[in-house]
């Protein structure tokens, strides 16, 4: 059976209108060269074309070319000898220091974009004359203009879809050099999060005979699996670029996960000259082994195209046997087994590597997610790199592949809306073609939170996009993710008309009640949470555990959020609420947590330099788990576990009550302090209304103002929490949580009070199968190997052997320095260095040093996959700017009441700990006075101080402290001043004086307790 391509479709259009090759598994990476201008060794249908590029950043602050210096950059004769030598994938933005200048914003992580040029000079051997040659890009950010030997091959605006250009007849095969040039721009603002800039995904050269399988020309489906059969339907598009018609034989061979041939088929197809025709074969596999999240078994299809008995082209395609169901009432099932989507959202960036797509870094990230219990990934909010899809296939992670963050109506000045009308049909087709054979892909999404969803033109746009998807792949549901369904749409509204066209809907941040309302109104549609929770947190930072929502600390250097699952923006929910809401609704297919990992940009709740990383992740940007990771692990995994929160049993005052939470997936936990039991607490065993068991306490949670009880209440009438809690007066030593099941210990977690910093230790997981990146964690430890949670020395990483420091990160969201350098301060006692192999199997020795600490050393494996000019290749240590802080505070409640405002002499300004945390969909607003805070004065060199004078503002909101103490910093730490005498003023215009015996000090601190909020308009040392 065959199907001819419609008349008028040229080979050039076919190449330009589709994405990353389905034959990606045939492309073998090669070791780096220093830029030798020859074609790399031929390795099949595709040759890696990542080495030997030259790059120039023409303008980091705009997309114009000042002075026209690079107007002729596409010309082969242009002199690029002083350009940088780079390997691609490459991201020029992450190599720049973060800055407030050049049109940057917190959305871009304060990284610049601009205009960049790439050039690659190479020769093609005469043996390739008569072949079909093409160049294929998996992604360029953005608006790529591609030139060969000065001729414009074409442009591709969208950054997240692949594209290819035909080089046949344009390449010189007579020994003369060819020059491929790429112009890329990143106009700011173009993305709501950090996007990176440049050729950030792979590039390949394709070489085929004139008769060959088309790009994306293989589509494998397994239509009878639910019935127990193993039919493999293979549709193969055969291109005939020769001058004469041919009759091609298409042979398909299936091998099982063990590499054994288990089925084959053949078909012939007549292909006119210059046309494309489709051949269909249906080999049958007996007793197919199913692909699932627990056993991701992959089969391989080999396709040979032969003419007159001679094989002219061979491709390979991996696929899996699996079937899915998204039932509106009964939820999601895979191969007939009901399960929830335990998903995360991930942006397409890799922490310190920026936007550079590296297979080993992707695998490292995905394995972190798997350890949390994740079984699904949403590619928020764009089509993924083909390597990510291949990894999800291999690791058993279901995928919701998403097309766009906007349609015709944009969210930013320079986002995709400018190109939507002309390009969206081609880009969404490219998205589907690139991943259509993947067993992990179970949902196609046409967009995320698009403004057009509530506009009159939205339903027609949705219809067009849905039709484009179904024309290529009618086997998977089409959905979208949206924040515009938090109430049931009015009949005939754009939201209503769009939902009726979709197979299902992902909702973003809906209450339990709104989710129930949608299910009742649209009983034939399935629903899931495409974005859930979005609670914000900073690793190792804790605040107000008895509050369900906390204010933010705006003090410079302390901009962080609480890890007690209690820092929420107006639209967000706690992790516990989101887990309970999903758990109790069988009809809910599952959820995608926003987000799996912190990412550059969108640093909610702060919008100020240098806060440049999001706070939403269960894992921080360095890949170090936060407490939220363990909350979700306790609900998404079955291997017994317990986890103590806070992850710090060091930085508390003796006797201070510490709220200790335990996340666990066992029903009984005993807390032990220094060998003394603090009691056993248990979860209750409960059952959902449809019979699924779960663990939960039984107590008011107070987390849903919409319920009559004020607490989230399950349909079975129960309310409770997903953690056990104790209040423990702090004493140094060892705190242990012991988890038991059936009276037998099955898990434990332990916290130990740390002593002074003594040494650095380095650890690294076994390197990902994908290749050439290792992730080395540096921990600052005491003499007994305990991580010191408040240690923040500057760590310097050095490498000996065939490797380099590709980047460093410590997970701190407020960090002024860049990432691609070898030094970084530890944060909460830890930091991570990404070590890239540069080629060769010799071991790589990594050393971390810091003044006064014993160094740490570790050896990791080298890799022949390494490249010399990848991330971090040109990095040099750059210290972040050190501001001289003359005033500091433990907590500032608002951006305009910072400590520096005590020093400006203006009585109308000042520091305050007053805050108002706005209401959320489930929680009331909160503004509760803090029990204790401090302010301090600091000098560049010791001063002799005998008194402090503080002017407190007393009004309806703020009051005088009830008590105060004064301490000063010494080499031994903070010590109280002697003979403190406090003369309380009436406030506002009557200062309070703190007099004491004179002390030599670089910093003096006033610590205050209060029944109300505090405000100090002036603080002066005498």
**What's the CA gap between 774 and 427, in Å, rounded?**
34
- The residues annotated with a catalytic role in the active site are 449, 531
**What's the CA gap between 454 and 250, in Å, rounded?**
48
Characterise 423 by phi-psi region: left (phi > 0), alpha (psi -120 to 50), beta (else): alpha
Cα angle, residue 500 at apex, residues 494 and 503 outer, rounded to 5°: 130
Name the helix (H) or strand (E) containing 621: none
Count other C-beta atoms under 10 Å from residue 251's C-beta: 19
**What's the CA gap between 714 and 128, in Å, rounded?**
68
**What's the CA gap between 428 and 585, in Å, rounded?**
32
DSSP one-letter string for 833-879 = EEEEE-SSSS-EEEEEE-TTSB-EEEEE---TT--TTSTTTT----P
**What's the CA gap between 812 and 574, in Å, rounded?**
21
For residue 708, what are its two tokens? 């009559």
For residues 195, 196, 198 and 204, what is the CA-based torsion angle, rounded to 10 degrees?
A: -80
Angle between helices 420-435 and 458-472 (to 10 degrees): 30
Q: Which residues are within 8 A (CB) of 526 and not within 5 positions of it... i.e. 6 or more apart?
A: 326, 327, 328, 331, 332, 477, 503, 504, 505, 587, 589
Q: Are residues 640 and 739 in contact, defined by beta-carbon separation less than 8 angstroms?
A: yes
Angle between helices 420-435 and 386-395 (to 10 degrees): 30
Q: Give, as one character, the DSSP assignment of residue 217.
A: E
Q: Choose among 391, 410, 407: nearest CA to 399.
A: 391
Q: Are residues 682 and 743 in contact, defined by beta-carbon separation less than 8 angstroms?
A: no
**What's the CA gap between 363 and 395, in Å, rounded?**
9
Q: How many residues does the chain have?
A: 1022
How far from each other are the two terminal CA atoms of the chain, in whole angstroms? 94
For residue 866, what are its two tokens? 């390494």
For residue 562, what are its two tokens? 């609480």
Q: Are residues 241 and 15 in contact, defined by beta-carbon separation less than 8 angstroms?
A: no
**What's the CA gap between 463 and 444, in Å, rounded?**
14
């Amino acid at each position: 059976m065959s199907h001819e391509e419609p008349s008028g479709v040229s080979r050039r259009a076919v190449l330009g209108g589709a994405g990353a090759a389905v034959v990606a598994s045939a492309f073998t990476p090669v070791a780096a060269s220093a830029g030798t201008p020859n074609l790399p060794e031929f390795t099949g249908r595709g040759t890696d074309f990542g080495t030997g590029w030259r790059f120039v950043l023409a303008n980091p602050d705009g997309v114009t070319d000042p002075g026209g210096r690079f107007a002729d950059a596409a010309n082969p004769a242009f002199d690029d000898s002083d350009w940088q030598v780079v390997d691609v994938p490459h991201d020029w933005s992450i190599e720049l220091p973060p800055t407030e200048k050049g049109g940057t914003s917190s959305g871009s992580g304060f990284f610049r974009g601009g205009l960049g040029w790439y050039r690659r000079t190479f020769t093609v051997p005469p043996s390739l004359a008569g072949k079909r040659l093409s160049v294929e890009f998996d992604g360029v950010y953005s608006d790529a203009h591609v030139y060969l030997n000065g001729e414009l091959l074409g442009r591709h605006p969208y950054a997240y879809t692949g594209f290819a250009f035909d080089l046949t007849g344009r390449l010189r095969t007579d020994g003369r050099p060819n020059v491929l040039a790429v112009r890329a721009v990143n106009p700011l603002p173009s993305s709501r999060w950090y996007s990176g800039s440049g050729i950030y995904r792979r590039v390949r050269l394709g070489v085929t005979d004139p008769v060959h399988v088309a790009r994306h020309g293989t589509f494998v489906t397994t239509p009878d699996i639910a019935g127990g059969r193993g039919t493999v339907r293979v549709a193969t598009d055969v291109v005939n670029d020769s001058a004469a018609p041919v009759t091609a034989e298409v042979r398909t061979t299936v091998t099982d996960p063990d590499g054994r041939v288990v089925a084959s088929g053949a078909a012939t197809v007549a292909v006119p000259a210059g046309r494309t025709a489709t051949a269909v074969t249906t080999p049958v596999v007996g007793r197919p082994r199913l692909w699932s999240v627990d056993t991701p078994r992959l089969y391989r299809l080999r396709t040979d195209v032969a003419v007159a008995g001679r094989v002219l082209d061979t491709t390979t395609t991996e696929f899996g046997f699996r079937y899915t169901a998204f039932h509106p009432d009964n939820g999601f099932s895979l191969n007939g087994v009901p399960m929830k989507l335990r998903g995360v959202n991930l942006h397409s960036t890799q922490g310190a590597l920026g936007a550079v797509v590296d297979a080993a870094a992707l695998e490292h990230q995905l394995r972190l997610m798997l350890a949390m219990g994740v079984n699904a990934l949403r590619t928020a909010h764009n089509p993924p790199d083909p390597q990510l899809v291949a990894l999800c296939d291999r690791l058993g992670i279901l995928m919701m592949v998403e097309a766009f963050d906007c349609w015709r109506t944009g969210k930013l000045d320079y986002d995709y809306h400018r190109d939507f009308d002309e390009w969206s049909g081609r880009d969404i087709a490219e998205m589907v073609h690139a991943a259509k054979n993947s067993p992990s892909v179970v949902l196609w999404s046409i967009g995320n939170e698009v403004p057009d969803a509530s506009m009159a033109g939205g339903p027609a746009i949705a219809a067009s996009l849905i039709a484009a998807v179904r024309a290529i792949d009618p086997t998977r549901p089409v959905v979208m993710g949206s924040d515009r369904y938090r109430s049931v749409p009015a009949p005939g509204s754009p939201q209503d008309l769009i939902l009726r066209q979709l197979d299902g809907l992902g909702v973003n941040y809906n209450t339990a009640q709104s989710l129930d309302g949608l299910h009742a109104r649209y009983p034939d549609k399935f629903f899931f949470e495409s974005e859930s929770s979005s609670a914000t947190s900073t690793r190792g930072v804790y605040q107000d555990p008895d509050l369900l929502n906390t204010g933010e600390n705006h003090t410079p250097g302390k901009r962080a959020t609480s890890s007690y699952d209690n820092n929420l923006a107006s639209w967000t929910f706690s992790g516990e609420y989101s887990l309970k809401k999903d758990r109790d609704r069988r009809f809910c297919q599952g959820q995608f947590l926003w987000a799996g990992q912190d990412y550059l940009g969108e640093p909610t709740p702060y919008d100020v330099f240098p806060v440049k990383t999001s706070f939403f992740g269960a894992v921080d940007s360095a890949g170090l788990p936060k407490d939220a990771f363990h909350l979700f692990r306790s609900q998404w995994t079955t291997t017994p576990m317990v986890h103590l929160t806070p992850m710090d049993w060091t930085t508390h005052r003796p006797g201070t009550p510490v709220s200790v939470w335990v996340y666990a997936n066992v029903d009984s936990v005993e807390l032990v302090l220094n060998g003394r039991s603090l009691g056993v607490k248990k979860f209750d065993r409960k059952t959902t209304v449809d019979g699924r068991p779960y663990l939960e306490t039984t107590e008011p949670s107070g987390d849903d103002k919409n319920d009559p009880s004020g607490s989230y209440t399950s349909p079975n009438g129960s309310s409770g929490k997903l953690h056990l809690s104790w209040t423990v007066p702090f004493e140094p030593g060892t705190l242990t949580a012991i988890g038991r099941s059936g009276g037998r210990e099955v898990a434990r977690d332990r916290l130990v009070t740390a002593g002074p910093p003594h040494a650095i230790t380095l650890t690294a997981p076994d390197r990902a199968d994908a290749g050439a990146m290792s992730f080395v964690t540096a921990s600052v430890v005491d003499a007994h190997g305990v991580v010191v949670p408040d240690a923040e020395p500057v760590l310097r990483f050095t490498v000996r052997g065939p490797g380099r420091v590709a980047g460093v990160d410590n997970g701190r969201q407020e960090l002024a320095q860049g990432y691609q350098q070898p030094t970084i301060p530890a944060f909460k006692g830890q930091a991570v260095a990404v070590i890239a192999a540069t080629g060769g199997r010799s071991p790589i020795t990594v050393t971390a040093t810091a003044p006064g600490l014993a160094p740490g050393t570790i050896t990791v494996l080298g890799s022949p996959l390494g490249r010399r000019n990848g991330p971090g290749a040109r990095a040099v240590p750059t210290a972040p700017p050190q501001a001289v802080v003359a005033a500091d505070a433990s907590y500032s409640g608002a951006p305009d009441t910072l400590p520096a405002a005590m020093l400006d002499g203006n009585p109308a300004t000042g520091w305050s700990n007053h805050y108002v945390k706005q209401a959320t969909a489930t929680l009331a607003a909160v503004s509760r006075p803090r029990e204790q805070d401090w302010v301090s004065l600091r000098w560049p060199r010791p001063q002799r101080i005998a008194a402090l004078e503080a002017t407190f503002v007393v009004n309806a909101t703020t009051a005088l402290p009830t008590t105060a103490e004064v301490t000063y910093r010494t080499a031994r730490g903070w010590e109280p001043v002697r003979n403190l005498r406090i003369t309380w003023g009436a406030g506002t215009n009557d200062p309070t004086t703190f007099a004491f015996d004179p002390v030599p000090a670089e910093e003096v601190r006033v610590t205050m307790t209060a029944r109300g909020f505090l405000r100090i308009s002036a603080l002066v040392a005498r």
